[in-house]
Chains A and B, each alone.
Chain A
Amino acid sequence: MLSKAQKTFRPLTLMTVRALHKSALDVVERPAPEETVTSSFGRFIQGVQPYHLTPTVLRRSKRMVLDSLGVSLVGSNTEVFELALQHCQHMYARDDVSSVYGREGTRLSPTLAAFVNGVAAHSMDFDDTWHPATHPSGAVLPALLAISDMMPGNGKPSGLELLVAFNVGIEVQGRLMRFSSEARNIPKRFHPPTVVGTMGSAAASARLLSLDRTQCSHALAIAASLSGAPMANAATQSKPFHIGNAARLGLEAALLASRGLEASPLVLDAVPGVAGFSAFYEDYAPRSLVSPDEEVPRFLLEEQDMGFKRFPAHLGMHWVADAAAKVHETLVGLTGGTVPPHLVQDILLRVPPSKYINRPFPESEHQARHSFQFNACTALLDGEVTVQSFSDAALSRPDLHALLSRVRVEHPADNRANFDCMYAEVEVTLMTGDVLKGRCDTFYGHWRNPLSDDSLRKKFRNNASTVLSPAKVEGLIAVVEDLERLEDCKPLLNQIQ
């Protein structure tokens, strides 16, 4: 009993030991750590073994790694990335440790590299999306790469170790999101990457840093104090910082835990009257993770695949773009090539209610990526939405303006703000009185209709080739394809800039 006390309670006072011999009051106040949700997460992070990764999980997570690299590389061309990088380079001295995506020779200290690389990942809203909703990879991969760069030359993690840590980071995010029913709907309060992303980064980093299970728990608890940002900053230039900070701060939490910093041992548990991680949700019902020593863990990624975007905009836009593209097909069939706006009398969009993506007249690329109206009209005009659809020139097209002014939005009762069950309908009424309809239930790239490996590689090549040489582009594809067999992740680290 005594040794258990000393193991479970770090404080060494006799008073604490005696407290354990008190009666029910204490047991209720402070259950043995083995039984808390928080400690079960710490145990999971430390205890997962490489052989627990099934072929499906391996395949899916490698696709996520490749996509994340690609969108980050193209993201390194953005203004917001440049701003973040400049900030780090001005405010901090050279610290040639961790590589910055797409910038040969540019390195920063690990947390700062995780920061700017995370910003890159989310800079164009081109990164992966899961259900319940969050952008899981951008918060995790930059932290892991930064740590890998930090480790000595002969002590770099293997590809498999990297993949295990990555999957730990994704799994933790998925598990945390299942603690509330609120998380299943398109968010209104906290931007999910800032809530679960930070935790995922902390978990993954703790794993790669080989922290013990108690330190892993503390990393999560420290990260909880660094989580949470409001939805209002989505659709602004600050949104990418949400992922950047999730990556950075999760890593920082793990580093602090490795130095012995401690935080709440009950952060994930539901303690009435004192909010831990529950602070971020209205309803909160946590569940412990099974011990990897007792049962083979089943990864959520096995049951719930990832959505990948085909163009850089909020996920909801993909439904509307696909629906509008169908109408475009019909229209050009009628007109013989183009879609003249003067032919269009009215455009009706039937979409789920979600304020932050309902923008009739977006004024910036950030807002345009979060506008049902903009994406519908772009797809109506062009037949598709692409990276170029958000350039300044594209944003200011008179044809587009003309169409935008003819859009109405409806929220049918059966169209719920939920990425798993929403749909989009586009109904275009022409001046001639003809009504053309298009509907999309599942866009290509959604988890129900995943991008083929070919399509994913094509997206990666388009993205990566904006900054990398063809040799490195193909090199990365090959390295990621074979990641679990890589003895040493240096080939990966060497080709991201």
Chain B
Amino acid sequence: MWRYITLEIGKTFPFVTGSFGAAICSLRSAHLTDAVVRRTKRMMLDTLGVGLLGTRTQVFNKLLQYSQRYSAQENSRVWGRPGVMLPPQYAAFVNGVAVHSMDFDDTWHPATHPSGAVLPALLALADTLPVRPTGEELLLAFSVGIEVQGRIMRFSKEALDIPKRFHPPAVVGVMGSAAATAKLLGLSPAQCAAALAVAASSAGAPMANAATQTKPLHAGNAARRGLEASQLASLGLEGNKEILDLESGFGIFYGDYSPKELADVSPSGHYSWVLEDQDVAVKRFPAHLGMHWVAEAASAVRRKLLDSNSYLSQVSRITVKVPPSKYVNCPFPGTEHQARHSFQFNCCTALLDGHVSIDSFSSGQMNRSTLKDLLSKVHVEHPQDNHASFDRMYGEVIVETAQGGKYGARCDTFYGHWRKPLSHEDLVKKFQSNASNVLTPEGIEGIVHTIDRLDATEDCTILGSYLQMNKHQTRPLDFSLSELD
């Protein structure tokens, strides 16, 4: 193969793409700060918990059934299913689907669900590597996958607002998965860049499929295809070496696009992680993030109502003040997916019950006549100052009664938002509550314990073993308890 212009003249054209490839390759665990390690561990724990809970959903089961037609020589474990293995890409796929199946996973700013695209891919890959990665390597690769997503979302102003066109996990998630898996595979800078280029051709899915049963596939496919991109890059596949630099490259997903190079990563120096400046939000119930503001406001209104000896049956009108966002404005949701994306539904549920929970989306709860009654009284308003951005929005609920009473409350920052993060205790409780639907106490505690000391864990695939300790099905343990210490 001849070259008309040699490319090896030091710094060459693909500045941004090249800098990403170099950074992915050069970042070391020494670059991980305490804050980043702490936050990524929280994200991993939360992701595993929601993923385990998600293995009980219909969509997970459909995708598992579908994926089981494929087999491979090297297989990876499916969470929550002892003995069930799939080719690594399909394990990444179904586990990613599980994570996003109930819209219970983490959310970042600019908006995306970063972990569900990355962790399933990494664990699936880890299961197939001849030398099992350490916990520290897993932490580093995961952090790289999150970092890349954070950086590329900052290439456009459009990304700052609640999305209307492309569902962000399908755009940036696949890139994060490619970066993370390329890191774990130890690819060269050029191959890391190639993985990003190949992944870009797998990016993008429309918002219309959010609030449907297909939405979880966005995370699942991001995980799967990012992993595939790395595998193909390791076989030598190339894409456009300027994929992040070009408007006709990654820029196609945005109306405004200004990519920026990453600074050189010096082996001994400091690295500024996006996660350090900007934490993620962890959800307390399985619904779109916007619902959390409205639920908190509605709960507060309910307390005021009851404190003044009024009754919900006296409610004549409910006004919900929220930012304009069509896909979460659903007056009468018909499916659980729609309910998780409905300001109205979550407001009324919180008014009725004082909170929204996993159970609120069961058909029994969705069908309550008291709920339907309240729903018919809801009016949605979009105040000028309520911006469709997870960093700036608020939720306000005003309830009027037939007796002339008027009760209102406003929530600017819900508990779990990055401005008001869940305490460690509450985060672990969420995990335990989720995981206990599927795992034995040993499995639950094994994961909590392992994540807690992940940086000192010799073999991160022990997580996979715990993830398969299903309380409803038994299988022989394949490791000894003494390996825990």
Binding site for B on A (CB under 8 A): 9, 11-16, 18-19, 22, 25-26, 29, 80, 83, 86-87, 91-93, 95, 109, 188-191, 194, 221-222, 224-233, 235-238, 241-242, 245, 255-256, 259-264, 266-267, 271-280, 355-356, 361-364, 392, 395-396, 401
19 A-B residue pairings within 8 Å (CB atoms): A14-B367, A91-B88, A92-B72, A189-B248, A225-B217, A226-B205, A232-B200, A232-B240, A232-B248, A238-B198, A238-B238, A259-B65, A259-B66, A261-B217, A262-B213, A271-B326, A274-B207, A274-B327, A361-B4
Q: Does B1 have its Cβ within 8 Å of any Cβ on chain A?
A: yes
Contact between chains at A233 and B73 (CB < 8 Å) = no
Nearest CB on A from B423, distance (A): 35
Also in contact, A275 and B366, with CB within 8 A (given A109-B70, A238-B238):
no
Given A13-B366, A236-B239: 9 more A-B contacts, CB < 8 Å: A83-B237, A191-B201, A222-B217, A228-B252, A233-B239, A241-B198, A261-B62, A264-B212, A274-B208
Nearest CB on B from A270, distance (A): 10
Tell me the bound Cα distance from A345 to B221 in angstroms. Answer: 54
Interface residues of B in 164-207 (CB under 8 A from A): 164-167, 170, 197-198, 200-207
Also in contact, A275 and B207, with CB within 8 A (given A22-B332, A245-B201, A259-B66):
yes
For A404, give the chain B residue with the smallest CB separation. B4
Residue-by-residue, is B234-260 near A (CB-CB < 8 Å gives 1, otherwise 0)? 011111101100101111100000000
Q: Which residues of A contact B246 (CB under 8 A)?
A: 230, 232
Contact between chains at A261 and B59 (CB < 8 Å) = yes
Q: Does B209 have its Cβ within 8 Å of any Cβ on chain A?
A: yes
The answer, among A16, A80, A238, A355, for a CB contact under 8 Å with B201, is A238
Tell me the bound Cα distance from A459 to B59 in angstroms. Answer: 47
Q: Does B306 have its Cβ within 8 Å of any Cβ on chain A?
A: no
The answer, among A191, A227, A262, A361, for a CB contact under 8 Å with B212, is A262
Q: Which residues of B contact A262 (CB under 8 A)?
A: 212-214
Also in contact, A92 and B71, with CB within 8 A (given A233-B243, A236-B240, A395-B2):
yes
Contact between chains at B164 and A189 (CB < 8 Å) = no
Q: Which residues of A contact B332 (CB under 8 A)?
A: 15-16, 19, 22, 26
The answer, among B62, B197, B242, B366, for a CB contact under 8 Å with A260, is B62
Q: Does B107 have its Cβ within 8 Å of any Cβ on chain A?
A: no
Q: Does B325 have its Cβ within 8 Å of any Cβ on chain A?
A: yes
Contact between chains at B206 and A15 (CB < 8 Å) = no
Tell me the bound Cα distance from A411 to B100 in angstroms. Answer: 49
Contact between chains at B201 and A241 (CB < 8 Å) = yes
Interface centre among A29, A109, A238, A261 (most CB of B within 10 A): A238
Nearest CB on B from A392, distance (A): 6
Q: Does B5 have its Cβ within 8 Å of any Cβ on chain A?
A: yes
For A17, give the chain B residue with the smallest CB separation. B334
Nearest CB on A from B102, distance (A): 16
Contact between chains at B3 and A279 (CB < 8 Å) = no
Q: Which residues of A contact B197 (CB under 8 A)?
A: 232-233, 236, 238
Also in contact, A93 and B3, with CB within 8 A (given A26-B332, A225-B170, A259-B62):
no
For B213, give the chain A residue with the smallest CB separation. A262
Contact between chains at B243 and A277 (CB < 8 Å) = no
Q: Does B389 have its Cβ within 8 Å of any Cβ on chain A?
A: no
Tell me the bound Cα distance from A423 to B148 in angstroms. Answer: 43
Nearest CB on A from B107, distance (A): 18
Contact between chains at A261 and B331 (CB < 8 Å) = no
For A232, give the chain B residue with the smallest CB separation. B249
Tell me the bound Cα distance from A189 to B5 in angstroms. Answer: 27
Contact between chains at A83 and B363 (CB < 8 Å) = no
Also in contact, A267 and B206, with CB within 8 A (given A188-B248, A273-B164, A392-B2):
yes
Interface centre among A16, A86, A264, A277 (most CB of B within 10 A): A264
Q: Which residues of A contact B209 (CB under 8 A)?
A: 221-222, 224-225, 263-264, 267, 276
Tell me the bound Cα distance from A273 to B207 in angstroms. Answer: 9
The answer, among B165, B202, B214, for a CB contact under 8 Å with A221, is B214
The answer, among A227, A233, A267, for a CB contact under 8 Å with B208, is A267
Contact between chains at B4 and A233 (CB < 8 Å) = no
The answer, among A26, A229, A266, A363, for a CB contact under 8 Å with B5, is A363
Contact between chains at A233 and B201 (CB < 8 Å) = yes
Interface centre among A87, A235, A274 (most CB of B within 10 A): A274
The answer, among B71, B89, B170, for a CB contact under 8 Å with A95, is B71
For A195, give the chain B residue with the smallest CB separation. B204
Tell me the bound Cα distance from A14 to B366 in angstroms. Answer: 10
Q: Does B335 have its Cβ within 8 Å of any Cβ on chain A?
A: yes
Interface residues of B in 321-338 (CB under 8 A from A): 324-327, 331-332, 334-335
Contact between chains at A189 and B252 (CB < 8 Å) = yes
Also in contact, A237 and B237, with CB within 8 A (given A267-B206, A276-B208):
yes
The answer, among A229, A232, A273, for a CB contact under 8 Å with B327, is A273
Tell me the bound Cα distance from A161 to B131 in angstroms. Answer: 50
Tell me the bound Cα distance from A273 to B329 in angstroms. Answer: 11
Q: Does B218 have its Cβ within 8 Å of any Cβ on chain A?
A: yes
Nearest CB on B from A173, distance (A): 17
Interface residues of B in 27-50 (CB under 8 A from A): none
The answer, among B198, B248, B334, B366, for a CB contact under 8 Å with A355, is B248
Nearest CB on A from B79, distance (A): 20
Tell me the bound Cα distance from A15 to B369 in angstroms. Answer: 8
Nearest CB on B from A414, distance (A): 24
Q: Does B69 have its Cβ within 8 Å of any Cβ on chain A?
A: yes
The answer, among A29, A231, A363, for a CB contact under 8 Å with B3, is A363
Q: Which residues of A contact B331 (CB under 8 A)?
A: 25-26, 29
The answer, among A109, A190, A236, A401, for a CB contact under 8 Å with B252, is A190
Q: Does B395 have its Cβ within 8 Å of any Cβ on chain A?
A: no
Tell me the bound Cα distance from A29 to B332 in angstroms. Answer: 10
Q: Does B232 have its Cβ within 8 Å of any Cβ on chain A?
A: yes
Q: Does B231 have its Cβ within 8 Å of any Cβ on chain A?
A: yes
Contact between chains at A225 and B73 (CB < 8 Å) = no
For B59, give the chain A residue with the smallest CB separation. A261
